[in-house]
A and B are shown apart, each in its own frame.
Chain A
Amino acid sequence: MPPEYRDLVEQSTYGHEDRGWKDIGNSKELIEAHSLCAGCPESMAFRYILASLPNPEDTVMVGSTGCTSLVFPMVAVHNIHSLFGNQNAVASGLKRALTVRFPDRIKDVVVLAGDGATVDIGLDMTLQAWFRQEKFTTICFDNELYANTGGQESGLMRKGFVAKMAPTGKKFDKVRLPEIARESGCCYVVNLTVSKPSLVEKVIKNAVLLAREVGPTYIQLYTPCILEIGKNSMEGLQEMRDSEKPGERFNYKEYITDEAKQYLADLDAKKKSAVIPAAQLTE
C-alpha cells in the first residue's frame, strides 16, 4: 500500500468523535493536494469542511461541475460527480438508496457545489429536494460567478458587477437563496465566509447533524474567486473579512427552526451528561 494510504489508515481522524479543524496539521487530512489556484479560498473551505464532518467514515459527498470538481478526486470520502447542476437530484436518490440498504446505520449525504450549479442550472433540483424534505446537507461555494468557465455572470453575482456575459454590469440583484432556503423547508440555513475555521466547523457539524434527523439544511459560504476578481493569492482572507462586516453580503446570517434549535440543545445536553465531571474523576 502506498504511504499516502497507510497514513490515511493510521493517522487520519475517521471515527474520532471530537474531530475538528484543530486536527489540521497534526493528523492526516481527508484532502490531499488540490489543483485550485494558489490561495483560492475554496481550498481553505474544503479543508475546514472535511475536518469538521461528524461522521466521515459513513459520509458520501455529491459534487457538481466547477472548480470544486477538480478537488473531489483527491478527497478521501466517497464522492460522486456526474453532471453539472444535478447534485441535489443525485443526492436525493443516493440518500434513499443508503436508507434502504442500511436501515440501522447512519449514512450522511453532503452536497457541495458552486453557485452556478446550486442557483442557476440546478435551482429546480436544489429547491425540490428541500420541498420534499430530503435529509441531506447542501453546501454552496458562493464565489459569485462561474469560475471554472472563466468568470461569467451567475445568479449569486452582485448587481452591477461587470463580468463576462454581463458586459454592461449584472442587471438584477444577488439571488437571496438563504431566504429562499428558509421558505423552502430548510430547518437550518447559514450564510457566512470561511475566514473563521471554528465557526465553519460549528456550522457544518450542526448542518450535518440536523439533516440526519430534522430536515434539509443549507450552508452558503463565500469563497471568493481571487482570480476573477483580480486579487493576489494572499488577499483571499482579507476579501472575506471585508465582505462579512455589518451590512455586507456575507455578514453572518442564520435561520434555524424551533425544532432544530431544540434538537441541537438536546444533543448538547446529552453530550454534557455523558462527560464525567472532573471533580468525580479525582475522587
Chain B
Amino acid sequence: MANELSETQKSQIGKQNKKGQTYTDPNHLFFKAPRTAAFYTGSEVIKEAIRRASVDVMVAYPITPQSEAAALIGELYAEGYVADYMRGESEFAVMGQCAGAAFGGARVFTTTAGPGTMRAMENFPMWVGSRLPIQMIVTCRGINSPLSIQPDTLEMYFLLGTGMLMWHAETAQDFFDWMLMGYIVSEQPDVHLPLALCCDGFFVTHTKDTVMLTPPEMCLPPYDPYRSPVVCMDMESPPVRMMRDPFIMKSNYISYMTHASWQEETRAACERSRKHTIPLIGGLIETENVDAEILIVASGTAVSQGREAIRLLEDEGIRVGLVKVKSLRPFPFEELREATKNAKHIFVPEFNVIGWLATELKAALPDNHRIIAGPHVAGGMTMPAEVIVRKNSDLSGVFGYYAAGVS
C-alpha cells in the first residue's frame, strides 16, 4: 500500500500539538484541505512548509542562498513549532548532527548549498546506508573557483550517486508541496531514505511567487521511528548484538555479500519509493505535447525557461513538447522512454557546465543521437528563452546562429 501511516501515527490524527495545530491525515492535508494564496519568497515558503511538518530537530549553517530559509526556521523554533534547533560548526558537522538526531528517532530537517553540499558529502552515503529519512533542501549555487554564490546546479551531479532520493523543484509551489510530501515518502518503512530536495538557488529562493498554502492550523502527523527498517538508537528495544564479528575488515565472501546486498537493498528502497511518490507529486515526470517531433526535457527552473522558449517557437510556427523531470532518484526510465518515443530531437537545457541531465538521458533513452545536450549556462548566468530557441533552431535546421558565451 502507498503512503500508509502506522497505528501510532493514526492515533495522533485529530489531536493537537502544543501549538494548537491539528495532526491531519496527509492525504487530506495535501488534496482536500482548503488552500489560500500567499505571495512569498522561496525562503518564506520553506518556512511555511516546515511550520506544517512537525519537525523535531533542525540543524542550520549559513551559506548563500539558503541562509535566509535556515534562519527563518530558527524563528519557528523560537515560536515553538520546531522542538530543537541549533547552528552547527560546519556542514560536515551539521550532517553528522542531523544523523545523530535521526538515529535517535527525530524527524530532521536541514538546508545547504554549493560548497556546503560538497563539504558534507561524506555523510550522504552514510545517511543512506543507515536508513535515516532526513530531509535536506539543496538551494544550488556555484561550487567552482573563483568563488561564486550564483545559481548553478553542478553540485547535484555529485549527489546523484549517493543513494538519496533526489527531487528537483521548479517553483516555490513544488517546494511547499514536496517538502511535506517528501517526509511521507521518505519515512515509509519500505523506503526509509533521506531526501535531497533541490532547487536552483536565487531563482526559487529569492524571487516572490504566488503559492497556495494549506491551513497553518493543520500539520503532518509526527514521525514514528519504530517503523524504521533498522533499529532506532534509543535503547527502547532490546540491544541485541548486531553481529558476532564485524564485517568491515573481513576478506571473505559473507562480508562482501553483506555489503553488496545492503547496497542493493538501499537502491531497491529508492526504486520502491515510486509507488508512494507518484500519487503524491503526480508522477516522476510531467509532460506537455509529447507527440511533437521536438522535445525539451529539463528539470528545475530550466523547465520554466523551456516553457517560455516553447511559446516563442510556437510564434515561429515550430511545435515543441516539454518534459519536466521531477524526480532524479529514482530516475524515471520508463516514463521518459514513453514520453520521448515520438521525438526526433530532444533538447536538454541545463544550469551547469557539464550537462549531467543530458548524460543521464543518453544512458537511458534509445537512439540517443536524438539528444542534444544544451544549452548550458553556468556561474549564475540566466538562461533567456531566446537562448533555448537559438539552440533549438540551430540544430533542428530551421534557422541558425550561434550565441557567444553560450555553448
Residues of A within 8 A of B (CB): 4-5, 8-9, 32-33, 35, 57-60, 62, 69-70, 72-80, 82-83, 86, 89-102, 107, 124-125, 128, 132
Most buried by B among A9, A35, A69, A98: A98
Residues on A with beta carbons closer than 8 Å to the beta carbon of B246: 35, 69-70, 72-73
**Interface size of B by Cβ–Cβ distance < 8 Å?**
44
Q: Is the CB of B97 within 8 A of A83?
A: no
Verify B244–A33 contact, CB threshold 8 A: yes
Q: Are B57 and A74 in contact (CB-based, < 8 A)?
A: no
Q: Kindly identify, within residues 196 to 230 of chain B, every residue whose CB is under 8 Å from any CB belonging to chain A.
A: 225
Q: How far is the CA of A33 from the CA of B103 in the complex (A)?
A: 25
In the complex, A57 Cα to B239 Cα: how many Å? Answer: 9
User: When chains A and B are docked, how far (Å) is the Cα of A10 from the Cα of B6?
Assistant: 32
Known A-B contacts A69-B248, A128-B89; A100 and B83 likewise in contact (beta carbons under 8 Å): yes
* Complex CA–CA separation, A94 to B86 (angstroms): 13
B241 CB contact (under 8 Å) in A73, A89, A90: A73
Residue of chain B at shortest CB distance from A87: B96
Whether A92 and B97, one on each chain, are in contact in the complex, defined by CB atoms closer than 8 angstroms, is yes
Closest A residue to B129 using CB positions = A82
In the complex, the answer to whether B56 meets A91 with C-beta atoms within 8 Å is no
B100, A97: Cβ atoms closer than 8 Å? yes
- The answer to whether A96 and B89 touch (CB under 8 A), given A35-B245, A89-B96, is no
Nearest first, the 7 A-B pairs at minimum CB distance are: A93-B100, A97-B104, A89-B96, A93-B101, A97-B106, A90-B100, A94-B100
B123 at the interface (CB under 8 A from A): yes
Q: Specify which of A60, A89, A101 is in contact with B106 (CB 8 Å cutoff).
A: A101
A-B contact pairs, 23 of them (CB 8 A): A32-B244, A35-B246, A70-B249, A77-B239, A78-B233, A83-B122, A86-B96, A86-B123, A89-B94, A89-B100, A92-B100, A93-B97, A94-B101, A96-B57, A97-B57, A97-B101, A97-B102, A97-B108, A98-B104, A100-B83, A101-B105, A124-B89, A128-B93
Closest to A125 in B: B93
Judge whether A93 and B57 touch: CB under 8 Å.
yes
Cβ of A78 and Cβ of B99 under 8 Å apart? no
> Do B235 and A107 touch across chains, with their CB atoms under 8 A apart?
yes
B398 interfacial contact with A, CB 8 Å: no
Q: Is B92 in contact with chain A by the CB < 8 A criterion? A: yes
Beta-carbon contact of B98 and A100 below 8 Å: no
Give bound CA distance, A124 to B94, whole Å.
12
Please tell me if the beta carbons of A102 and B234 are within 8 angstroms of each other in the complex: yes
Q: Which residues of A sit under 8 angstroms from B243, Cβ to Cβ?
A: 73-74
Whether A82 touches B130, Cβ cut-off 8 Å, given contacts A93-B104, A96-B57, is: yes
Contacts A60-B233, A99-B84, A128-B93 known; A83 to B59 CB distance under 8 Å? no
CB distance from B161 to the nearest CB of A (A): 17
Find the B residue at minimum CB distance from A2: B240
Alpha-carbon gap, A35 to B241, bound state (A)? 14
Query: Is B283 in the interface zone, CB < 8 Å from A?
Result: no
Chain B proximity of A200: nearest CB distance (Å): 22
Given A78-B233, A90-B97, A94-B103, 5 extra CB contacts under 8 A: A5-B240, A62-B100, A96-B84, A101-B234, A128-B89
B96 close to A74 (CB less than 8 A) = no
Q: How far is the CA of A82 from the CA of B100 in the complex (A)?
A: 9
For A70, list chain B residues within 8 Å (CB). 246, 248-249
Chain B neighbourhood of A73, CB < 8 A: 241-246
Q: How many A-B residue pairs have CB under 8 A?
A: 150
Interface residues of B in 30-52 (CB under 8 A from A): none
CA distance A225 to B203 in the complex (A): 55
B235 touches A74 (CB 8 A): no
| Docked CA distance A79–B104 (Å) | 11
Residue B342 lies at the interface, judged by CB distance under 8 Å to chain A: no
B90 within 8 A of A: yes
A33-B244, A73-B246 known; A98-B239 Cβ under 8 A: no
> Is B126 positioned at the interface, with any CB of A under 8 Å from its CB?
yes
| Complex Cα spacing A24 to B85, Å | 41
Contacts of A90 in B (CB 8 A): 96-97, 99-100, 103
Quick check: is B231 within 8 A (CB to CB) of the other chain? yes
Residues of B within 8 A of A79 (CB): 233
Residues on A with C-beta less than 8 A from B90 are 124
Select B235's contact among A4, A8, A69, A78, beta carbons within 8 Å. Answer: A78
CB-based nearest A residue for B222: A101
The interface residues of chain B lying within 8 Å CB-to-CB of A98 are 104-105, 234
Interchain CB contact (< 8 A) of A94 among B88, B92, B233, B241: B233
A80/B96 in contact, CB under 8 A: no
Task: Name the B residues within 8 Å of A4 (CB-CB).
Answer: 241
CA distance A64 to B231 in the complex (A): 19
Q: Bound state CA distance, A275 and B241, in angstroms?
A: 36
Instruction: From B57, B123, B238, give the contact of A100 (CB < 8 A).
Output: B57
User: Are A83 and B235 touching (Cβ within 8 A)?
Assistant: no
CB-defined contacts of B238 to chain A, threshold 8 Å? 5, 8-9
**A83 vs B122: C-alpha distance when bound (angstroms):** 8
When A32-B241, A60-B233, A101-B234 are in contact, do A93 and B99 touch as well, CB less than 8 Å? yes
**Which of B89, B96, B108 is in CB contact (< 8 Å) with A82?**
B96
Cα separation A100 to B54 with both chains bound (whole Å): 12
* Cβ A125 vs Cβ B235 within 8 A: no
Residue in A74, A80, A89 whose beta carbon sits within 8 Å of that of B244 in the complex: A74
Say whether B84 contacts A100, CB under 8 Å.
yes
Known: A57-B235, A73-B242. A89 touches B88 (CB 8 A): yes
Whether B101 pairs with A96 at a CB distance below 8 angstroms is: yes
Of residues B96, B108, B248, which shows the largest number of chain A Cβ atoms within 10 Å of its Cβ? B96
Bound CA–CA A188/B99 (angstroms): 27
CA distance A70 to B248 in the complex (A): 8
Q: A73-B246, A92-B97, A99-B84 are in contact. Are A80 and B233 (CB under 8 A)?
A: yes
Q: How far is the CB of B250 from chain A (nearest CB, A)?
A: 9
